[in-house]
Homo-oligomer: A and B are copies of this chain.
Amino acid sequence: MWMKNTWQVAAFASEIKREILARRLCNEPVILWRTQAGRVVAMEDRCPHRRAPLSVATLHGDEVRCGYHGMGFDADGKCVHVPGQDSVPGNALVRVYPIVERYNLIWIWLGDAALSDPALVPDVHWMDDPKWIPSNGYHHIKANYRLVTDNLLDLSHETYVHKETIGNGAVADSPVQVKLDRGRIIRAHREMPDIEPPPFFAHVLKHWGKIDRWQIAIYMPPGMHMTEAGVYPVGTPREKAYLIRALHLLTPETEHSTHYFWGNCRNFRLDEPEVTESIRKGIQHTFDEDKFIVELQAARLREEGDPAVPMATIKVDAAPIQGRRLLASLLEKEQQDPTFIAPPLLMADDSVVNYPPVAA
């Protein structure tokens, strides 16, 4: 079950070219391609003639021509070519999905097209803002998206899963303050003063002494996540903290798999492309570790009939439990009212680069 009246990430903009890309989104088979003028088109991956997949169609100008019997469709999904006849059957239509290209991402609206409004695209401007540099990547996770959300809302797992990069004992041992912002966003804030730097942060700070670190796991359902991390050497001003705003943009593929688009945006060492690549490699490795444990967890849960988690609740579960509750309430609203929309809020404010220390 998933929200449909919402913009979700279908692809990185750079993925969509003058050829057809197939991708399953919320269990709908979709093809994505660019018109000659450069506009991105998303269509149902299914010919209305004999249901051959259009992912093996060919592009003739801005016409998608089915690879089986040659029925052709324009960028609006209208049939414009039938072999062996001049007229076109009225029911030969391919569903077209609203698309917005923004922040170097392709956003798709899988719900009621009449409700789609480009103003509702979530603000993730850090992905293409000149004051930030993203390190981008993608993971395919064989798990329901809720399990990835659980993972991202309880970052205590960094201590056990990500020992080699971003985790150490300080994460799990520091208390978390969880807040619900205007019924739309969860924020789980953790301050870690005067700690040994995990390897990843020592590396980007070029500082192997003790640091102050904060971390805010931010979740806006159904699938927008940001992890804000601030780090600075103990004794230096908080205002000069190196800041990472890591975006984790989740789109369900099926009930049991998830597209995980990520962009690790930093506000420091902007003119050092090797830092971009080094962060990308580190995060790739880190999220490989998440993929490993979350897929094992998902396989076990599936085998057991997808029972509720957690079975035993501990303090660090506060944020994932609130996240599930918020998601469930929004899903219920959409079920009850097909015109319901939950407008996005700003996930983080650039004018506030640091935050008051959290109460222990």
Selected contact of A67 from candidates B56, B161, B309, B313, CB within 8 Å: B161
Interface residues of A in 30-86 (CB under 8 A from B): 46, 48-53, 56, 65-71, 79, 82-85
A309: nearest chain-B partner, CB-CB: B50
A173 contacts B by Cβ under 8 Å: yes
- Among the listed stretches A111-119, A179-187, A267-275, A292-300, which one makes contact with chain B, having 4 or more residues with CB under 8 Å of it? A292-300
Taking a contact as CB atoms under 8 Å apart, the answer to whether B172 and A311 are in contact is no
Taking a contact as CB atoms under 8 Å apart, the answer to whether A297 and B160 are in contact is no
Q: A216–B61 Cα gap in the complex (Å)? A: 33
A50: nearest chain-B partner, CB-CB: B309
A307 contacts B by Cβ under 8 Å: yes
Taking a contact as CB atoms under 8 Å apart, the answer to whether B311 and A91 are in contact is yes
Taking a contact as CB atoms under 8 Å apart, the answer to whether A156 and B69 are in contact is yes
Taking a contact as CB atoms under 8 Å apart, the answer to whether B314 and A89 are in contact is yes
Number of copies: 3
Cβ contacts A149-193/B at 8 Å (1 or 0 each)? 010001011011100000000001111100000000000000000
Q: A297–B55 Cα gap in the complex (Å)? A: 11
Q: A85–B172 Cα gap in the complex (Å)? A: 9
**Contact flag A311-B52 (CB < 8 Å), given A70-B172, A173-B84:** no
Q: A315–B71 Cα gap in the complex (Å)? A: 12
Taking a contact as CB atoms under 8 Å apart, the answer to whether A314 and B84 are in contact is yes
Q: A68–B300 Cα gap in the complex (Å)? A: 14
Taking a contact as CB atoms under 8 Å apart, the answer to whether B68 and A293 are in contact is yes
A304 contacts B by Cβ under 8 Å: yes
Taking a contact as CB atoms under 8 Å apart, the answer to whether B312 and A91 are in contact is yes
Taking a contact as CB atoms under 8 Å apart, the answer to whether B173 and A83 are in contact is yes
Q: A71–B175 Cα gap in the complex (Å)? A: 16
**Complex interface: chain B residues within 8 A of A175 (CB):** 84
Q: A135–B223 Cα gap in the complex (Å)? A: 57
Q: A312–B73 Cα gap in the complex (Å)? A: 13
A92 contacts B by Cβ under 8 Å: yes
Q: A84–B50 Cα gap in the complex (Å)? A: 58
Cβ contacts A295-334/B at 8 Å (1 or 0 each)? 0110011001001011111111100000000000000000
Q: A79–B159 Cα gap in the complex (Å)? A: 18
**Contact flag A159-B315 (CB < 8 Å), given A46-B300, A51-B297, A300-B46:** no
In angstroms, how far is the closest chain B Cβ from the Cβ of A77?
A: 12
Interface residues of A in 113-164 (CB under 8 A from B): 150, 154, 156-157, 159-161
Selected contact of A172 from candidates B83, B161, B312, CB within 8 Å: B83
A299: nearest chain-B partner, CB-CB: B53
Taking a contact as CB atoms under 8 Å apart, the answer to whether A85 and B314 are in contact is yes
Selected contact of A309 from candidates B51, B71, B292, B313, CB within 8 Å: B51
Selected contact of A157 from candidates B68, B157, B310, CB within 8 Å: B68
Known: A49-B309, A49-B312. 9 other contacts (CB 8 A): A48-B311, A48-B312, A50-B297, A51-B297, A52-B300, A53-B300, A68-B157, A84-B172, A85-B314
Please give the residue numbers on chain A whose beta carbons come within 8 Å of chain B beta carbons, in ascending order. Answer: 29, 46, 48-53, 56, 65-71, 79, 82-85, 89, 91-92, 150, 154, 156-157, 159-161, 172-176, 292-293, 296-297, 300-301, 304, 307, 309-317
Can you list 11 residue pairs at the A/B interface with Cβ under 8 Å?
Answer: A46-B300, A50-B297, A52-B296, A53-B296, A66-B160, A68-B293, A69-B160, A71-B312, A83-B314, A84-B315, A85-B314
The 10 lowest CB-CB distance pairs between A and B, nearest first, are: A83-B172, A92-B312, A70-B160, A48-B312, A50-B309, A89-B312, A52-B297, A91-B312, A85-B315, A48-B311
